[in-house]
Amino acid sequence: MSTPPTIAVWFSCGAPSAVAAHLTAKIYGEDFGIKVRVVNNPVAEEDPDNRRFLLDVQDWIGLPIESAINSKYPDASAQTVWEHAKALSFPNGAPCTTRLKKHARQQWEAQNLVDYHVFGFTLEEQRRHDRFVLTERDNVIPVLIHAKLTREDCIRIVSEAGIDLPDVYKRGYPNANCIGCVKASSPTYWNHVRRDRPEVFAARADLSERFGAKLVRYKGERILLKDLPADAVGRPLKSLDIPDCGIFCEEGRD
């Protein structure tokens, strides 16, 4: 008897990846008998309530959520990565995402046979999914896109399942990334962080100055966080402008 294929669902503690895990477990696990494994890349700087959300989702989907951690960074800390890299971001993405998500996933794959992958790409992220398939791997099942589910649909589905969304959503952030995400370039975002978590803003501003990382785009120019006026605003916060922190890293827009 042949071994059934394995699907790895990469769960990032956001509503889309939660729904992706639930659909994959239900459709492919129950209906087709395929082995479904749900994997999370923990990051120390994420809001503590993300862990509560992970456990609630684990109960909802009826599968354990495994952890994949880069062996070079056992503390799974973005701060450690930034200090080692002496940078907050590079032209091809943020080192925290590359080392704590992508490299952790690659290490996990080297030890675990996987036939297909599922990520939380929603309907409005079709282009992001297509880019990922073109540049990273082509064995991806876009379960949310196939189901024509948007990010707002996923938030509604999670809420209707009786699961409280991660606390960061309630505080006005567009996803469950680390607060003070270095992929964000919006003055709206950074001033929201300044008001909500001033200590995080101060820490990022310090690193921004030390490494010369001009994280924010203001009036058409890149500037250091310390130079951002407290009343500066850009467009309203949207998930497409600050990408969900999965293994595909790209910079936010404004």
Residue 234 lies in a domain: no
Residue 203 lies in a domain: no
For residues 50 and 165, is the Cβ–Cβ distance under 8 A?
Answer: no
Residue 78 lies in a domain: yes
Report residues of the chain scoring pLDDT below 50: 1, 240-241, 248-254
**What CATH code is carried by the domain that includes residue 71?**
3.40.50.620
In total, how many domains does the chain have? 1
Residue 242's pLDDT is 52
Residue 136's pLDDT is 84
Radius of gyration of the chain (CA): 18
* Residues whose CB falls within 8 Å of the CB of residue 200, separated by 6 or more in sequence, listed in order: 179, 180, 193
Q: Quote the tokens at residue 34.
A: 């395929």
Residue 146 lies in a domain: yes
Residue 161 lies in a domain: yes
Residue 138 lies in a domain: yes
Residue 240 lies in a domain: no
Residue 55 lies in a domain: yes
Q: State the pTM of this model.
A: 0.88
19 alpha-carbon distance from chain centroid: 14
Provide the residue range defining the domain that includes 143. 6-167
